[in-house]
Amino acid sequence: CYPGISVSTRYARSVLPKTVELHESMKYSRKLANFIHALYQGDKALARSLLNDNLIEPYRQKLIPHFDSAKLSALQAGAIAFGISGSG
């Protein structure tokens, strides 16, 4: 899914907080570890349940018009994940 817009890397980075709360970082790390485990186990349902970004997406989603409705539509149509790629 491509929204047809460009977001500069500099701007995309500027909307991120300068620090991250320890509990948020730990939550992300746990999800990554569990995702790797799911891949090794071949557990597609577990892998799918872990494919959401609590660290960056909450800040960057506002840079993409209609992000929430596009994500909901994609997931309802059967997509296993939906996220933001690029803009470093």
Cβ neighbours around 60 below 10 Å, total: 19
Whether 52 contacts 60, CB under 8 Å: no
> pLDDT grade, residue 4 (50/70/90)?
confident
pTM: 0.76
pLDDT tens for 5-60 read 888 889 999 999 999 999 999 999 999 999 999 999 999 999 999 998 889 999 99
One-letter amino acid at 9 equals T
> Who's near 44: CB < 8 A, 6+ residues apart?
38
